[in-house]
Structure 1
Amino acid sequence: MGSCVTRRGFVAGAAALSAGAARPASAQALPTGTLRMLIGFPAGGGSDVMGRLIADKMRQRTGANIVIENKTGASGMIAAEQLKNGPADGSVVMFTPSATLAARLTNDSVGFDPQKDFATTGLVGTVQTAFAVSPTLGVNTFPEYVEWVKRNPGQANFGTTALGSFTHFVGVMLGNAAGVKLEPVPYRGAAPLVADLSGGHIAAGCGGLTDFLEHHRGGKLRIVVTAGGARAQAAPEIPTAQEIGYKDILIEGWYTFFAPARTPKPLIDAWSREIAAVVADPVVRDRLVTLGLDPQPGAPDVFAERMDHDLRRWKQIIDAIGYKPT
């Protein structure tokens, strides 16, 4: 009986969501012409794969001409600066992880302020930060990796997909908690880091779960721990840092779409509505979960409040670590 009720509830909920996703006759549509989606990381990384997945479904849903532009470098901040100076007519958005904003917190010279220069379309989903090791090490758990580092102190470094972000800080925090000093090595996104982990050119790496999960399954790297509050839905076999004894390590990142801050609210709402409908599509949702994202599409105003809260908390963590950009 319980399963029947659950099924009916799911169908009813899906129907309601579908109805809610339909554009009201009076609502603003997406702009006509070419729509640009900026991604601040290389093709093939987690951010790129998810952004293209959403863009493809949006093209099918709306008929819009959406072009992906990979503006790589500086932990996604090059794309962010281009977005800030982009046209505020709804024709350009940026798909970005929270790592880019966290990196901005450590560098006062960055030419954008996310709270002043961008308008969010709402939360897309949350993601955990993952710590992975090269399969060439022959270790299977984080404690085993710590013992390996103690035997090989000359290789006590890890790659980070975004220097000055939580893919940097989580690695440092894990090392500190385990009593080993781990030095970050910056990479221009996940794809080159994955290649070096697979080839044994670096012993460990830290990035978004979305960047690593498929490569973990394919044996190119081995995720040994995440920084989430609970095991990831897509990877229940991977323990959290809290589970293995590091109670203070808990960081949950997220993904959102930003537009330039001057973009009119009706156009922001149009993007938000279409993105939410795409992310709620069962095929897209299942694929995002497989990639390591927990889809949670939400309203722009609600997410803006969360973003403000998270930025304040992350600044406290950065100050506690004592990180100073070079």
Structure 2
Amino acid sequence: MNPTRPASPTRRLLAAAAVATAALPLAAFAQAKWPEKPVRMLVAGPAGGSADILARLLGDHLAKDIGQPVIVEPKPGAGGILAVNELSQAPRDGHTLLVAVNSLVSEIPHIVKTKVDMSREIVPLAELARGGLVLVGNPAVPAKTLPELVAYVKGNPGKVNVASYTAGTLSHVLGLQLNKAAGIDLVHVGYKGSTPALQDVMGGHVPLMFDGIPTSLPLLKAGRIKAFAVSTPKRSALLPEVPTFAELGYPQLEAIAWMGLWCKPEVPAALQQRVRDAALKALGQAGVRERLAEVGFEPGQPRAVDELSKSLRVDYERMGTLLKAIDFKPE
């Protein structure tokens, strides 16, 4: 037998299979050790905002399940791009995650000039929660209903401002849509998060805002702001007296936003699944759904990662068409 004779294709396949099989226990062992250290949960938004509230709720329950601390780190600014940049510099070991609204992929690229393709920078692991937005105003605004508000804005052309929690998010886009649908000219004022915007609404510096229900709910209950309409398909159980935009003749403003858990695409698929499973398990614990409702969220739907990715592509195309129709220019 010639010792230098090349191995047959069959022998090469058997040898490769043997190596792969031998590596399986090591790979399984490595993944079984996750997490080996505290988990960083970046938040695409400010402290006290909707994403921050949800991240802390998830983090508390996740930490108990995985046996490691979960450190929540708000990273506001640039419509979430700063948080994505922070994530991109982290190791691909599943110890750095991101909590952010879906608009980070479906809307921000149309509205904020960026050098990166957001759909390639982050991938969704799970839908954590969902909900609509509510148009709120300072109590001194001389209108009690949306029709009265539209009439008031028409009577004061170019003089009524509407805040968004970040330029480029659904909060901003709904204001643009209302302008188009109602034939009014609300002037957009972008903020870095719900908290500073709501403070200015309460202070009378800006009269109106499209905000997520979770952050506005406590202020609505306290009478510090008032609500005109919600973007949900049906009235919110948390604000049953507030009509939907569709009820009032503006079906264009029907919209749902969802908050997701994201990671770097370079994180191995098996590890992504492990993180997803851990997050969904934490959110499925007793009392979490009740707590979500208390802070203004509906529980997320257990959609598969492929479904989430498809919905992002659909929303991206829809938003692009919408913004083009209103001739919106990126900032």
Fold shared per TM-score above 0.5: yes
- List per-residue Cα deviations over 1:48-97 (Å, max 9, x = no partner): 11111111111122222111111111122210122123211101011001
For residue 167 of structure 1, report the CA deviation from its aligned partner: 0.8
- Structure 2: how far apart are the matches of 1:268 and 1:288? 24
Check if 1:98 corresponds to 2:96: no
- Structure 2: how far apart are the matches of 1:322 and 1:115? 23
What residue ranges of structure 2 are gaps of 5+ in the alignment? Answer: 1-27
Secondary structure at 2:287's aligned position in 1?
Answer: helix
Structure 2 CA distance for partners of 1:61 and 1:220, relative to 1, 3 Å: farther
AA paired with 2:204? G
- List per-residue Cα deviations over 1:23-45 (Å, max 9, x = no partner): x9998463211211001211112
Q: Is the 8 A contact 2:104 2:118 kept in 1?
A: no
Q: Is the 8 A contact 2:107 2:316 kept in 1?
A: no
RMSD: 2.2
Aligned to 2:41: 37
Check if 1:314 corresponds to 2:325: no
Figure out how many residues of one structure are paired with residues of the other and give that number.
Answer: 303
Secondary structure at 1:271's aligned position in 2?
Answer: helix
> Equivalent of 2:93, from 84, 89, 93?
89
- Structure 2: how far apart are the matches of 1:39 and 1:274? 18
Q: Which moved more, 1:88-97 or 1:109-118?
A: 109-118
> Equivalent of 2:227, from 223, 228, 241?
223
AA paired with 2:305? P
For residue 103 of structure 1, report the CA deviation from its aligned partner: 4.1
AA paired with 1:178? A
Q: Which runs of 4+ in 1 moved over 3 A?
A: 24-30, 150-155
Check if 1:158 corresponds to 2:162: yes
Q: Is the 8 A contact 2:113 2:330 kept in 1?
A: no
Q: Is the 8 A contact 2:134 2:212 kept in 1?
A: yes
Taking the TM superposition and a 5 Å limit, the aligned residue runs for 1:117-132 are: 117-132=121-136
Q: Which moved more, 1:152-161 or 1:26-35?
A: 26-35
Taking the TM superposition and a 5 Å limit, the aligned residue runs for 1:149-298 are: 149-153=153-157, 155-298=159-302
Q: Is the 8 A contact 1:131 1:224 kept in 2?
A: yes
- Structure 1: how far apart are the matches of 2:218 and 2:321? 32
For normalisation by structure 1, the TM-score amounts to 0.86
- List per-residue Cα deviations over 1:261-295 (Å, max 9, x = no partner): 10011221122112112222232211212322221
AA paired with 1:101? V
Q: Is the 8 A contact 1:99 1:167 kept in 2?
A: no
Q: Which moved more, 1:27-36 or 1:86-95?
A: 27-36
Aligned to 1:143: 147
AA paired with 2:216? F
Secondary structure at 1:94's aligned position in 2?
Answer: strand
Aligned to 2:329: 324
Secondary structure at 1:196's aligned position in 2?
Answer: helix
- Structure 2: how far apart are the matches of 1:118 and 1:266? 16
For normalisation by structure 2, the TM-score amounts to 0.84
Structure 2 CA distance for partners of 1:231 and 1:174, relative to 1, 3 Å: same
**Whose Rg is larger?**
2
Aligned to 1:14: none
Q: Is the 8 A contact 1:105 1:315 kept in 2?
A: no
Secondary structure at 2:308's aligned position in 1?
Answer: helix
Identity of aligned residues (%): 26
Q: Which moved more, 1:87-96 or 1:29-38?
A: 29-38
Secondary structure at 2:128's aligned position in 1?
Answer: strand
AA paired with 1:121? L
Q: Is the 8 A contact 1:75 1:189 kept in 2?
A: no
Q: Is the 8 A contact 1:39 1:79 kept in 2?
A: yes
- List per-residue Cα deviations over 1:170-196 (Å, max 9, x = no partner): 012113322211111010100001111
What residue ranges of structure 1 are gaps of 5+ in the alignment? Answer: 1-23
Aligned to 2:9: none
Q: Is the 8 A contact 1:125 1:293 kept in 2?
A: yes
For residue 135 of structure 1, report the CA deviation from its aligned partner: 1.5
Taking the TM superposition and a 5 Å limit, the aligned residue runs for 1:42-53 are: 42-53=46-57
Secondary structure at 2:120's aligned position in 1?
Answer: helix
Q: Which moved more, 1:197-206 or 1:148-157?
A: 148-157
- Structure 1: how far apart are the matches of 2:155 and 2:179? 15
Structure 2 CA distance for partners of 1:278 and 1:173, relative to 1, 3 Å: same
Q: Is the 8 A contact 1:38 1:71 kept in 2?
A: yes
Secondary structure at 2:173's aligned position in 1?
Answer: helix
